Structure 1
Amino acid sequence: MVLAGVLSGCGSGDSLERFDGPTMGSHYSIQYVRHTAGPDPKTVQAEVENILAEVDRQFSTYRSDSDIERFNASPANSCQPMPGPVLELIRVGEQLSAQSDGSFDLTVEPLLNLWGFGPQSRAEKVPTAEALTLVRQRVGHGHLRIDDDRLCKDAAVEVDFNSIAAGYAVDRIAARLQALGIDSYLAEATGELKAVGRKPDGSAWRIALEEPRDDRQVAERVIEVNGYGVSTSGDYRRYFEQDGVRYSHAFDARTGAPVLHNLASVTVIHPSALMADGLSTLLLILGPERGWDYAQKQGIGVFFVLRDGNRFVSRTNDAFERISGGKTQ
């Protein structure tokens, strides 16, 4: 889900620090400009990995001891104390759900499992109408309620933060790097990223956006980023086909089914990596017309890639071109 990679473009005299590693079932990478009096690189890496470990403990749906999985395992009409970040992201999810008329929803995990895309799924297949009706009774942000420091539910809903947790982690990392006196960096986790400042040679951080192909990674567009988070959501990595129909992991919670439009991917540029992450998913769900209109109305910088028969066509708005410095490829 997101970006093909980062183009370093380093010239003579560069003094970039780099480190990376596994996280959230995927990968993270950090590049930053180290000042002479700056912290030791091992200290920086330890700080970053502490944040990622905390995010995993709180939000992972792939470990039974995470805060959110303990909540997911609890019955209807129950409450559990939750750390502040979990409640914060529940509120973000509520905002995105309201703005999409319920199409975006954090409680789609039972649907993901039913269709074969979730952590508890058995096989990728179109479910029966009866099974879908049953599961949809356990989906809907309206079943959640925050009571002081507790998260409550009136149905057996299960929360999945995969559409916003990585962006949140990137914002946390960016804030920590700034607190450590690091003012030029590119922080990336599972493809969500934020770039601030410039490299030692004065050049911009350049990001390669991936063309939505199933067979290999191809750079569709290269952009320059400074002070923004970037996120791409697409339907081309996780999908299955049945009876000639392509079903992806992008779900419309109102229908309980994957979206079937021709919007293949959406890239969002936003000051917050968290909001870029959530909005790229929201716009992918809304589709090429509703999503475009929403982005235009809200002034969100977007890059759409649409299927047109056997080829792809791209579309960007003025906000995207302004923020990314125009076309660089």
Structure 2
Amino acid sequence: MAGLPLLAPHAAPQPMLHVWRGSALGANAELQLHHPDPAEARRLIRDSLDEVARLERQLSLYQPDSALLRLNRDGALAAPPFDLLRLLAEAARFHALTDGAFDVTVQPLWDLYAGHFARAGADPAGPPAEAVAAALDRVGQHRIHLDADQITLRPGTAITLNGIAQGYVTDRVVERLRANGITQALVDMGEARALGGHPMGDAWQVGLEDPAAPGQIAETIPLRNRAVATSGGYGTRFDAAGRFNHIFDPADGRSSWRYAAISVIAPDATTADALSTAFSLLPPERVAELARQAGVTVHVARTDGTRVILA
């Protein structure tokens, strides 16, 4: 799951810039598009939200009876919907690219830590080692079998798409807007992607959140025909002391505090989302190597408060 990009406003509102704000996949969401016809702009916004709703019925962990929830519940899903199948195939590709750091099967670890700290008098040191080991036995990309006719999980395995789905939904909305002739828009369904530039002629401005002061902007970046996603353990902490977060390492089952936050600027939001999640677990030299290989730029917020750019 990512830290939400903060959309930095321009100096003055534009009469042909139409804005919607709401929520998608459990996160704050925003859509800004430039169009001379207000009625057509409203239609395009409704069309975009219909697409988001359609995808939520497939990919959400929060919507009752979504395709993903049924897959996790039953261990198999016959005739899987196209977007779920496509996104799981993308997840497998990012798993291979990142040496296994990106892994959508870490949901058993989420369940373990959330359940542990929800109990009164929970051990502040976290779940016992044997419980972590048992959860890890149910984690691994190899435990998913993908087929056009059926998706199958090995017993005990469950999937979370929180590290990639918001980016994927953002990309699908951008595709629909582009197909309808929109050339200037900023779509943020949990991760942000710019279509063209801002109507005022410059790039869209997106603020990267300060992990030490959530809700505040630490750095503003220009975005034009690119996407940005941020991951950081500060976004979801399981315990009051803040020692345990949702960035799980599939290698050892522990939370990662290697960085305060990682932001990835990429050609599309799916890539930015997945890589920001995976890079949160990898050492800087490997992050830099993979960033060059993937053609992305990485903004690193270190735990000591300093920031660095890797490209």
TM-score of the superposition, structure 1-length normalised?
0.85
Where does residue 245 of structure 2 map in the other structure? 248
Question: How many residues end up aligned between the 2 structures?
Answer: 306
Question: SS in structure 1 opposite 2:85?
Answer: helix
1:234 counterpart letter in structure 2? G
Identity in percent: 29
Say whether residues 1:314 and 2:311 are aligned partners. no
Check conservation: 1:306, 1:314, Cα contact below 8 A.
Answer: yes
Question: 280, 284, 289: which is aligned to 1:293?
Answer: 289
Which of 43-52 and 295-304 deviates more?
Answer: 295-304
**How far apart are the structure 2 equivalents of 1:198 and 1:260?**
35
Where does residue 200 of structure 1 map in the other structure? 199
Q: Once the 2 structures are TM-superposed, how far is the Cα of residue 61 of structure 1 from its aligned partner?
A: 1.2
- What do residues 242-293 of structure 1 show as CA deviations (whole Å, max 9, x unaligned)? 8x782221011111111242x1111111111111110100101214343233
RMSD: 2.3
Task: Output aligned runs, 1:182-221, within 5 Å.
Answer: 182-190=182-190, 192-213=191-212, 215-221=213-219
Residues 58, 307 of structure 1: CA spacing in aligned structure 2 closer, same or farther, 3 A cutoff? same
**How far apart are the structure 1 equivalents of 2:196 and 2:267?**
13
Question: 82, 91, 95: which is aligned to 1:84?
Answer: 82
Where does residue 33 of structure 1 map in the other structure? 34
Residues 199, 96 of structure 1: CA spacing in aligned structure 2 closer, same or farther, 3 A cutoff? closer
Q: Which 5+ residue runs of structure 2 have no aligned equivalent? A: none
Question: 259, 262, 281: which is aligned to 1:266?
Answer: 262
Question: SS in structure 2 opposite 1:246?
Answer: coil
Q: Once the 2 structures are TM-superposed, how far is the Cα of residue 216 of structure 1 from its aligned partner?
A: 4.2
Q: Once the 2 structures are TM-superposed, how far is the Cα of residue 69 of structure 1 from its aligned partner?
A: 0.8
2:182 counterpart letter in structure 1? I
Say whether residues 1:162 and 2:162 are aligned partners. yes
- What do residues 170-227 of structure 1 show as CA deviations (whole Å, max 9, x unaligned)? 000001111111110001112x0111222332122111111111x5432211111100
Residues 52, 12 of structure 1: CA spacing in aligned structure 2 closer, same or farther, 3 A cutoff? closer
Q: Which 5+ residue runs of structure 1 have no aligned equivalent? A: 320-329
Question: 274, 282, 287: which is aligned to 1:278?
Answer: 274
2:188 counterpart letter in structure 1? E
Where does residue 136 of structure 2 map in the other structure? 136
TM-score of the superposition, structure 2-length normalised?
0.90
Query: Which structure shows the higher strand fraction?
Result: 1
Moved over 6 A (4+): none
Question: SS in structure 1 opposite 2:159?
Answer: coil
Residues 290, 82 of structure 1: CA spacing in aligned structure 2 closer, same or farther, 3 A cutoff? same
Check conservation: 2:197, 2:225, Cα contact below 8 A.
Answer: no
- What do residues 144-194 of structure 1 show as CA deviations (whole Å, max 9, x unaligned)? 11223311223331111111111011000001111111110001112x011
Say whether residues 1:66 and 2:47 are aligned partners. no
